[in-house]
């Protein structure tokens, strides 16, 4: 380890200690998250300025940043499956069966799919407004390799029909899905948990003593898992600092400038969809500004971590503790939203790629027939997109192969993928929160006294806080 790396790590430790000091002074969670975000940007920019993105010093420093950043994300992923299981089973037990289950599921998925359709339209609109096209783009070694890898991966998604996607949701081996082995593992675990909950309520009358014991067991399991969530969420400011520093210090600013139009168009479409989410929330009688303020810490985490699945624990806590959404609905929305109807990864991104590639194969991207076909394909293919890194690529492969477009051209965007993926992931998570909030409101289950509180959402601290 060189002196430069040691010096960088010393600075990192000092910044982490500063965040810890803020926690000791009981500074609000929201302020600490954004402090971590700002410090991460400053640290990353300083490292980039001193050493350059390709420097060995940067590479060695990032290895240690990953201990804090990726380590935090892995801890979040560790608690995703237990949280989903105990929360959904517990919610069904409180519902006394499936009386409201169908409505909750249908409304949540309906909002996710509807907003994904709108997201595809936003992507098409911004691509055409900015005149994006893949014609004339040149590929370097990294882009060529990426294109070849995408072409090789095409075989795994070709012929993957909607019927087969739905079949992938069915948990043939739920214990395998608990390991996250498949792209649809999260939804499979949700379905398995629903079966457990329904089976338990099915014996409530015939075997009340057994049901009572199981209900008590689930209460204990829920309390333990939620305490675990509390412990992990306390680490959020530290994880955000390390994740943001890694992104900034490793960014290639020359490539970003070369593809600036695509970056601007992407964030333009993302901004449109954030506005759509706020509009939908306002249409069900909720204050959109208060809604946005309360989900800001969650969006900041999703932006830096780039994982919708990893954001599930914080997503659920934000809905239940800040927005007044019942736990069952919050878990359905967060779980479904990590795999179905992702506005950013499954909506905007494939639409923009398709519009860019269309002129290279002789198709007018403004043709109404092409636009309607593209939106329909994106809507169907938005089922089962993984909520971890690579989900957008998987969605793009499905859409481009369905249109018989060359998928290798997507490799040209490899250099700016992390920058755009940050905004896409934040939008994905916003979409799932919006779905849960709307569903809860329409079913009349939102705790309005909690939603209307002006205090920042309390997501960490003492046991009662999470």
HSE, CB side, 13 Å, CA atoms: give it for residue 28: 10
- pLDDT tens column, 205-218: 889 999 999 999 99
pLDDT value at 219 more than 50:
yes
273 close to 122: Cβ distance less than 8 angstroms? yes
Mean pLDDT, the chain, whole residue set: 84
Eight-state DSSP code of residue 456: P
DSSP letter at 346 equals I
Query: Region 45-52: what's the mean pLDDT?
Result: 89
Closest of 244, 292, 226, 236 to residue 22, by C-alpha? 236
Domain span holding position 391: 3-465
Which range in 17-21, 345-349, 360-364 is most confidently predicted, on average pLDDT? 17-21
pLDDT of 461 strictly over 50: no
pLDDT above 70 covers what percent of the chain? 85
Whether pLDDT at 144 is above 90: no
Higher pLDDT, 463 or 330: 330
Write the CATH number for 131.
1.10.3860.10
Query: How far apart are alpha carbons 448 and 444 in whole angstroms?
Result: 10
State the pLDDT at residue 149.
45
pLDDT the model gives residue 135: 64
Question: 384: phi > 0 → left, psi -120 to 50 → alpha, else beta; which?
Answer: left
CB 428 within 8 A of CB 340: no
Q: What percent of the chain has pLDDT over 90?
A: 42
Confidence of residue 360 (pLDDT cuts 50, 70, 90): confident
Number of domains in the chain: 1
Top pLDDT among 311 and 151 is at 311
pLDDT score at 141: 38
How many whole angstroms from its chain centre is CA 407?
Answer: 24
Banded pLDDT at 311 (limits 50, 70, 90): confident
Number of CB atoms found within 10 A of residue 178's CB: 18
pLDDT at 52: 83
The pLDDT of residue 147: 45
Instruction: State the pLDDT confidence band at 380, using cuts at 50, 70 and 90.
Output: confident
Query: Sorting pLDDT into bands at 50, 70 and 90, what band is 408?
Result: low
pLDDT of residue 160: 54
Rounded to the nearest 5°, which phi and psi values hold at 422? Answer: -60, -50
Alpha carbon distance 448, 120 (integer Å): 32
| pLDDT exceeds cutoff 50 at 148 | no
User: For 366-379, what is the mean pLDDT?
Assistant: 92
Here the tokens at position 218 are: 């689930």
Q: What is the pTM (predicted TM-score) of this model?
A: 0.80
Q: How confident is residue 84, by pLDDT bands cut at 50, 70 and 90?
A: confident
**Cα torsion angle, 343, 347, 348, 350, sign:** positive
Which of 12-21, 134-143, 282-291, 423-432 has the least mean pLDDT? Answer: 134-143
- DSSP, collapsed to helix, strand or coil, labels residue 14 as helix
* Confidence band, pLDDT 50/70/90 cuts, at residue 296: very high
């Amino acid at each position: 380890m060189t002196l430069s790396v040691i010096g960088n790590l010393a600075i990192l430790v000092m910044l982490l200690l500063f965040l810890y000091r803020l926690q000791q002074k009981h500074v609000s969670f929201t302020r600490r998250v954004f402090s971590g975000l700002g410090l991460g940007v400053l640290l990353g920019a300083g490292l980039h300025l001193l050493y350059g993105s390709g420097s060995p010093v940067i590479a060695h420093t990032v290895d240690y940043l990953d201990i804090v950043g990726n380590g935090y994300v892995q801890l979040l992923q560790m608690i995703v499956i237990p949280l989903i299981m105990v929360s959904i089973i517990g919610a069904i037990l409180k519902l006394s069966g499936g009386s409201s289950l169908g409505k909750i599921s249908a409304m949540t998925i309906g909002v996710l799919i509807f907003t994904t359709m709108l997201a595809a339209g936003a992507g098409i609109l911004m691509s055409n407004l900015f005149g994006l096209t893949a014609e004339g783009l040149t590929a370097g070694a990294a882009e060529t390799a990426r294109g070849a890898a995408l072409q090789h991966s095409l075989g795994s998604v070709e012929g993957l029909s909607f019927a087969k996607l739905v079949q992938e949701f069915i948990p043939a081996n739920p214990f395998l899905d608990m390991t996250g082995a498949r792209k649809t593992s999260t939804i499979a675990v949700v379905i398995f948990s629903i079966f457990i909950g329904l089976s338990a309520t099915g014996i409530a009358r015939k075997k009340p003593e057994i049901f009572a014991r199981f209900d008590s067991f689930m209460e204990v399991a829920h309390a333990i898992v939620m305490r675990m969530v509390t412990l992990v969420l306390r680490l959020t400011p530290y994880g955000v600092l390390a994740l943001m520093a890694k992104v900034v210090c490793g960014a290639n600013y020359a490539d970003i400038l070369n593809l600036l139009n695509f970056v601007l168009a992407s964030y333009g479409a993302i901004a449109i969809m954030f506005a759509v989410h706020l509009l939908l929330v306002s249409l069900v009688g909720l204050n959109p500004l208060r809604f946005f303020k309360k989900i800001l810490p969650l969006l900041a985490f999703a932006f830096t971590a780039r994982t919708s699945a990893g954001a599930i624990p914080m997503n659920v806590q934000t809905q239940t503790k800040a927005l007044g959404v019942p736990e069952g609905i919050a878990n359905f929305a967060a779980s479904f939203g990590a795999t179905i109807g992702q506005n950013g990864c499954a909506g905007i991104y494939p639409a923009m790629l398709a519009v860019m590639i269309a002129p290279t194969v002789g198709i007018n991207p403004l043709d109404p027939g092409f636009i309607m076909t593209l939106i329909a394909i994106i809507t169907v293919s938005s089922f089962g997109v993984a909520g971890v890194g690579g989900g957008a690529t998987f969605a793009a492969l499905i859409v481009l192969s369905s249109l018989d477009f060359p998928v290798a051209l997507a490799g040209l965007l490899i250099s700016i993928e992390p920058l755009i993926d940050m905004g896409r992931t934040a939008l994905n998570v916003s979409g799932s929160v919006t779905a849960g909030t709307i569903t809860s409101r329409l079913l009349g289950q939102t705790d309005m006294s909690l939603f209307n509180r002006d205090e920042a959402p309390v997501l960490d601290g003492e046991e009662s806080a999470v």
